[in-house]
Amino acid sequence: MSKKLIPVIMAGGSGTRLWPLSRTQYPKQFLKLSPDGYTLLQATLLRLKNLDCVDPILICNEEHRFLAAEQMREIGISAKIILEPEGKNTAPAITLAALHQIQKSESRDGILLVLAADHIITEQDQFEQSISQAIKLAELNKLVTFGIVPTHPETGYGYIEKGLEISDGFEVKRFVEKPDAATAQQYLDSQQFLWNSGMFIFKADIYLKELQQYANDIYNSCHLAMQETRSDLDFIRINKDIFKQCRSESIDYAVMEQTQDAVVVPLDANWNDVGSWSALWDIQPKDEQGNVIQGDVITINSQNNYIHSESRLVSLLGVNDLVVIETKDALLVAKKSQVQDIKKIVETLKQQDRTEHFCHREVYRPWGKYDSIDQASRYQVKRITVKPGEKLSIQMHHHRSEHWIVVNGTAKIHKGKESFLLTENQSTYIPLGEIHALENPGKLPLELIEVQSGSYLGEDDIVRFEDLYGRC
């Protein structure tokens, strides 16, 4: 395959339809939902293993940068990570990657392979074959999209109508919105329609040329934002204020539906966009009763359910076709036929100013994680895990004091002008206003219990003086 292939992975989605596992701070692309045990992002990156390509460009939200970097480190893949200050849909995200490629490379006509980070594809050979076919068309200056060969009259996807045959693909006759059931059946019967996958191949300069013609405002905003990039650890930061003014738009509306050079290559590789719990039930291994079971679960006289237990025993008796998702702070019970409406629950949580749509009880940080075990009006108890060699920021709090008790490993404490070590069953007290830091100097994970007390216990009551991870 062409050595010019540059993978672009879009990892900025929110995945609200997979609540309560997928949340704003930990969306579905970072969850282990792939049948092979990897996260969806990791599975997407590993799908590139046989392709002759350079290191990928990853586009993700600034809030998810450490999640993305850590998951790539786990599988031994490096990438250029461009941080979006704010999600603006696919057209601006792809534009940032194309501009970066042209700015940093001697070759302006590098071929971009644009993939979503939250799809599942199990037929690797078919995936690679379709890419080979698409590259040939991209080299002819075509803008190529992949159309999934439909298996049923799906109403949750947009469709692409095939036009005249061209090489190993077809000219795009038209894009159509999500149809009703009767229209979807007509599309399936005609064999002239493919599902719109949201994956693309094209030359960077050709895409930008078409974007300038049909959505010049998006091009200008992204071009100006990329003029002031700066490196931050492994990340590429763009001008936040300029990018926030950019119009939010999909690549379909901005370019693909406008250009005269759109072509589609059929892809028949057991593709799934993991858009709902029922979609996950379709592809996961099942027991003899048709249940997908993850975690501590007992089922009796229950069939065709999707059950996920994270922290406790979940038991089902005499029920069918349900989705039951248990996490440490939320429980979802839904009919499998109605999971597309889970986003309504998320909207209700937002309206009620609750946190369960935003973050899990267990929160990941670049240094490790913490679990909010208990809390009330003037206290909070956390179990903190610090990875070997990592250090929390040097900080202080205006509204709370903290008591740390080491339960496993060795902690190096910095408090005021003194530094000292603590081991299991030893503790220290951090008064309100005291400058302090915590690090793990050992080779094993450090675990401690933190008891916070004070008038305000929010995560924004942190004044950082120094931080290894560039957080302010």
The CATH code of the domain at 362-466 is 2.60.120.10
pLDDT for 88: 93
Q: What is the mean pLDDT of residues 169-193?
A: 95
Residue the block writes with tokens 């895409």: 207
Comparison of pLDDT for 227 and 2, the residue scoring more: 227
Give the chain's length. 472
Listed in order, the ranges of the chain carrying CATH 2.60.120.10 are: 362-466
Question: Is a pLDDT exceeding 90 seen at residue 351?
Answer: yes
Q: Which tens digit of pLDDT belongs to each residue from 428-455?
A: 999 999 999 999 999 999 999 999 999 9
pLDDT for 472: 60
Q: What is the mean pLDDT of residues 80-109?
A: 89
Question: Is a pLDDT exceeding 90 seen at residue 133?
Answer: yes
Q: Who contacts 424 (Cβ-Cβ below 8 Å, separation ≥6)?
A: 406, 407, 408, 409
Listed in order, the ranges of the chain carrying CATH 3.90.550.10 are: 5-272
Residue 253: burial class (beta carbons within 10 Å; 0-12, 13-18, 19+): middle
Name the packing angle between helices 90-104 and 216-226 (round to 10°).
50
The DSSP string of 79-130 is -EEEEESS---HHHHHHHHHHHHHHH-S-TTPEEEEEETT-EE--HHHHHHH
Instruction: Give the global pTM.
Output: 0.88
Spatial contact of 228 and 239, defined as CB atoms under 8 Å apart = yes
The rounded distance, in Å, linking the Cα atoms of 343 and 348 is 9
pLDDT for 4: 76
**Token pair for 335:** 């009919």
Measured over the CA atoms of residue 427, residue 428, residue 432 and residue 433, the dihedral's sign is negative
The rounded distance, in Å, linking the Cα atoms of 323 and 212 is 45
Say how many CA atoms lie within 13 Å of 24 toward its Cβ. 14
DSSP character at residue 391: B
Q: Which tens digit of pLDDT belongs to each residue from 43-91?
A: 999 999 999 999 999 999 988 998 999 999 999 998 899 999 999 999 9
DSSP E strands, 296-440: 297-300, 306-309, 314-317, 322-326, 331-335, 362-365, 368-375, 379-386, 394-396, 400-408, 411-415, 418-422, 427-430, 436-439
The rounded distance, in Å, linking the Cα atoms of 399 and 430 is 12
Is omega for the bond preceding 20 within 30 degrees of 0, making it cis? yes
Torsion of CA 28, 33, 36, 38, to 10 degrees: 40
**Token pair for 212:** 């300038």
Q: Which of 113, 92, 151 is nearest to 1 (CA)?
A: 113
Instruction: Report the mean per-residue pLDDT for the chain.
Output: 93
The DSSP string of 13-31 is ---GGGTTTSBTTB-GGGS
The rounded distance, in Å, linking the Cα atoms of 90 and 100 is 15
Measured over the CA atoms of residue 124, residue 126, residue 129 and residue 134, the dihedral's sign is negative
The rounded distance, in Å, linking the Cα atoms of 179 and 196 is 12
Spatial contact of 137 and 167, defined as CB atoms under 8 Å apart = yes
The fourth-level CATH superfamily of domain 5-272 is Spore Coat Polysaccharide Biosynthesis Protein SpsA; Chain A (3.90.550.10)
- φ/ψ of 412, rounded to 5, equals -105, 120
Question: Is a pLDDT exceeding 80 seen at residue 116?
Answer: yes
Q: pLDDT-based confidence at 363, cuts 50/70/90?
A: confident
Question: Is a pLDDT exceeding 50 seen at residue 169?
Answer: yes
pLDDT for 364: 87
Q: Who contacts 103 (Cβ-Cβ below 8 Å, separation ≥6)?
A: 226
Residue 122: burial class (beta carbons within 10 Å; 0-12, 13-18, 19+): middle
Q: How far is CA 29 from CA 84, 117, 129, in A?
A: 16, 6, 25
**Token pair for 448:** 């401690």
In this structure, how many other beta carbons lie within 10 angstroms of the beta carbon of residue 422? 19
Q: Say how far residue 166 (Cα) sits from the centre of its chain.
A: 34
